[in-house]
Structure 1
């Protein structure tokens, strides 16, 4: 009997009760230096090393919560013929490859799920395909192990992202199908594409959306999440007819390490957060803006000094811990580049991050976080229940080259409420 859970995420730090993962597969390997940029990578990854590191990440999560794999969830819903037909038609129409529809329909559900993620090889059965430089009819989803971006559990609903790059749009289509049809989740999806007044300028990705508290959202205005995307979220919140706050942090378009808000700011505990100091705390031209929603209307929009002080004014007094430490700007830049600010909370004060960012880990330890190796947790040498505050460190020499960290690789579907 399949257990169904109600989706619900009302904070970034509530104790984790369910998370969706995707172990990187051949879609990561199906890349060359010449097409890496098109795949949104700055380098190509060694799959065997990346998988070894990822198994540390997923192995820890399997110890503490219910985990779901995208490929398994997709294969389950594809067992239903109507859903299979509908999803194939949608993908093939969207990516203009209706000529492969019948071939895909003949595939068993598990194989179809694999190919929808790893790529569908181009059949050289015509002069056009014979002369084509492409290898795939449907390109691999190189970025899907960053499950954070394509959908967001936002309170009691799931927001389907409107991705900034076409190469990632199938990820959102797959996640919407899973949440709409999987018997494992009870939820309601909200997809911007289903609204008549949403255009190409509207972009939303999950790495920019952080649920601070039941009444506070923090959103990055980045190269991947536009002001129109944030306005869409604000309009959804207005329907609640309650007081709500949206804190917007503007981000640079470059370098690529600033791709999402969670690359410069993440919540660690009820009273602590990780920050990239030069952007979050120092004077810059990137503004922090507070939008107050009350009784179905935008009551005010105003600039604030910085993200930390804005949250303090809203009753969230957070101590900022600096990525790369607080003494050397070069170290801060290096470790931020390698996702040093990108932590994922499994509960208040219980987080995951990359071991390679040694100065960040030193700073965490100074602030009361015990440093624990992932393999010690997986092997049973360490019992996490014995620790109040900790950071479990995973290998990240290869995974970080994909452009994300522990938060990027996790899509929570349910968390316990936090007693503030």
Structure 2
């Protein structure tokens, strides 16, 4: 990588010019039914099938934009010994065990001896525990440093917002290393022009109270963030982001639209599991929650010139956006039938990722959602037809590229979850 890329994401739908992904590896396979729940999976997945499905995502994106693999980016920065030491220092702060002394020295010292390529692999796939004392021998843990089972969901640990990268504060400790890795990549990759933002910890508050993850953060427009408040993103973290905007005293008005989410079932884990943007005038919604939120409030926060101008409740998310000049036609996840809506939302049917205005990726398995997309004017195109060149994508203005998904959806996410955009062309609204 030689050319400098400026982080610039001022919408969810602008033409995609750069994206970070992670092809799933051994870290996914290093799970058993016993530890799957701890790894935040509801089931173990077949790596070989998942990798074949992921090849479609990577293959399509490689045809359409510049793609970066987390492992490659990490390897590049670890070639510098000072940066390697700093990255391990950052990890030690969240995983003190790596600094514990053992007969052969601390794990941290051992990791410092690894070359960049092997270290980048180890930090992702984990380090097996050496059973060299009674405590470790009796421990049910296999790993001294656990694998990053969820890294394929690159969306969560860092978020491009305009020209900055907000570092995620994860709801579960097992994902903390993801945030450290992504922060380090943006801090130390000279070809990425950006600055990282980590929300300050409030004295006396635990980090698990102030959590925010990328699946809950959508950049609707340069001046509008839509944020889900549920199991993974707390009101306290949203408050910290609000205070950050107030502190900056920008003359331009900043809007934060907060949508409360149920904490269960697990398919409601993030906002992008029930709402994603598709085009300037269209969005994908899980109708029962987004159109009829009931007791789950939609709240509009308005900030300007270092002042909170107001916090008020709205009828629903689409109504709030319409008041700000974004009039969106909803396309229904699962179509109009409530039974199909629930089934397809469970398998990430509302989770779409834009490569351009009206140009999106989603799972092929959600048949009723795809029918609704087609009725809304989107051409349905198979990923393999793009990859092998049998379909010329430039012939179509609006389309859904469909990804095969039998194993990947069982990990609990869709195309948006597995992509972290770093540059998009600005939209003229």
- State the TM-score bracket (shorter-chain normalisation): over 0.9
187, 208, 220: which is aligned to 2:216?
208
Please give the alpha-carbon distance, in whole angstroms, between the structure 2 residues aligned to 1:186 and 1:288.
34
Identify which range, 266-275 or 190-199, moves more after superposition.
190-199
Aligned residue in 2 for 1:236: 244
CA contact (8 A) 2:212 2:233 kept: yes
Question: By how many angstroms is 1:237 displaced?
Answer: 2.1
- Match 1:383 to one of 392, 410, 413: 392
Q: Is the 8 A contact 2:199 2:241 kept in 1?
A: no
| Higher mean displacement: 104-113 or 124-133 | 124-133
5+ residue gaps in structure 1?
A: none
Q: 1:305 aligns with which of 315, 318, 334?
A: 315
Contact in 2 for aligned 1:162/1:193 (Cα 8 Å): no
Deviations 1:133-158 (A, max 9, x none): 21101001100000000000011100
Task: Provide closer, same or farther for how the CA distance between residues 255 and 307 of structure 1 changes in structure 2, counting only shifts above 3 A.
Answer: same
Unaligned runs of 5+ in 2: 100-105
**Alpha-carbon distance in structure 2 between the residues aligned to 1:198 and 1:371:** 48
What does 1:173-212 correspond to in 2, within 5 Å? 173-193=180-200, 199-200=206-207, 201-212=209-220
| Count of residue pairs the alignment pairs up | 419
Q: Is 1:416 the counterpart of 2:425 in the alignment? A: yes
User: Contact 2:111–2:119 (CA<8 Å) still a contact in 1?
Assistant: yes
Give the Cα–Cα distance (whole angstroms) in 2 for the partners of residues 114 and 377 of structure 1.
30
Is 2:294 the partner of 1:284? yes
Give the Cα separation in 2 of the matches to 1:300 and 1:195.
23
CA contact (8 A) 2:217 2:271 kept: yes
Structure 1 residue 111 corresponds to structure 2 residue 118: yes
Q: Answer yes or no: is 1:294 the counterpart of 2:291.
A: no
Contact (CA 8 Å) 1:242, 1:296: kept in 2 or not?
no
Aligned partner of 1:343 in structure 2 is 352
In the alignment, what sits opposite 2:270?
A: 260
What are the equivalent positions in structure 2 for 1:158-169 lying under 5 Å apart?
A: 158-169=165-176
Secondary structure in 2 matching 1:34? helix
Query: Given the alignment of the two structures, is residue 89 of structure 1 paired with residue 98 of structure 2, yes or no?
Result: no
**Partner residue, 1:395:** 404
1:319 maps to which of 310, 329, 346 = 329
- Greater CA deviation, 228-237 or 43-52? 228-237
Q: Is the 8 A contact 1:22 1:144 kept in 2?
A: yes
Counterpart position of 1:67: 67
Q: Is the 8 A contact 1:2 1:183 kept in 2?
A: no
Please tell me whether the aligned partners of residues 39 and 142 of structure 1 are also in contact (alpha carbons under 8 angstroms).
yes
Residue 312 of structure 2 aligns to a residue in which SS? strand
CA 1:197 to 1:69, structure 2 compared with 1: closer, same or farther past 3 Å? farther
Give the corresponding residue for 1:150.
157
Deviation string 1:189-216 (CA, Å, 9 cap, x unpaired) is 0012577686422110000000000111
For residue 102 of structure 1, give the secondary structure of its aligned residue in structure 2: helix
TM-score (norm 2): 0.96
**What is the DSSP-based 3-state SS (H/G/I as helix, E as strand, rest coil) of the residue aligned with 1:116?**
helix
Taking structure 1 as the reference length, what is the TM-score of the superposition? 0.98
Question: Is 2:219 aligned against 1:217?
Answer: no
* Alignment root-mean-square deviation, CA: 1.2
After TM superposition, give the deviation of residue 104 of structure 1 in Å.
0.6
